[in-house]
Amino acid sequence: MFIDEWFGDNFYRKLPLGYHNPANFAFGQVFWTHAYYPHENLEIWRPVPDPSEPTKTIASQFRITTAGKDAFSRSLPLHVPRLETNEEFIVVRAKVRPVILIQTELPLAGVDNKGYRGRVQRHRTLIAQVFGLADSATKEPQFNSTFIDRVRKMEFPQLMFLPEKAGVFAMDSMLLGAQQE
């Protein structure tokens, strides 16, 4: 039997108002956030030399280049925009995608949680990304049906089938978690 058939109409549960408050976060809650695509072809956003700028520390134009052997090794820092000699502006594609909350934030015992340098408060939780099983534009399946059926039977502990449901997911999807051995 497939997990989605076993749960039937009770696979998803609508939460009451107020669950977007971090104090009310719960396991299995669906959120939408930006997710980036790290890739092997590292690209960097490099300043274009401006012959009229004598100090070579101010840049107003940039171009995207593939990272070479000189990546993260600049001869001069930039003052505007700020960039040290061992730093680069990296180019990363991203999109908004659903994630599932796995573990809420656990405060560290004995640590004052004032945030990064006392200024930025970030709530850290463990999440898993959700990926659609078909191309969003063409609706063409991205995986073969035998593999999807194996995911639906819960043969892979790091994968979970999430059926299409109006208001939750526009297409059948898969939760991609981490497997611990």
Asked whether residue 181 is assigned to any structural domain, the reply reads: no
Q: How many domains is the chain built from? A: 2
Asked whether residue 162 is assigned to any structural domain, the reply reads: yes
Q: Which domain holds residue 19?
A: 3-37+95-176
Q: Residues 20, 66: one domain? A: no
Q: Residues 16, 74: one domain? A: no
Q: Residues 51, 74: one domain? A: yes
State the pLDDT at residue 22.
77
Q: What is the block-wise mean pLDDT of the chain (181 residues), using blocks of 10 residues?
A: 88 82 85 83 91 92 93 92 94 91 76 59 80 93 95 94 92 83 56
Q: Residues 16, 103: one domain? A: yes
Q: Residues 100, 157: one domain? A: yes
Q: Residues 78, 159: one domain? A: no
State the pLDDT at residue 181.
56
Contacts of 176 (CB under 8 A, 6+ apart): 128, 129, 130, 131, 158, 159
Please write down the long-range contacts of 16-22, taking CB distance under 8 Å and 24 or more positions apart. Answer: 22/104, 22/105, 22/123
Domain-terminating residue out of 21, 56, 91: 91
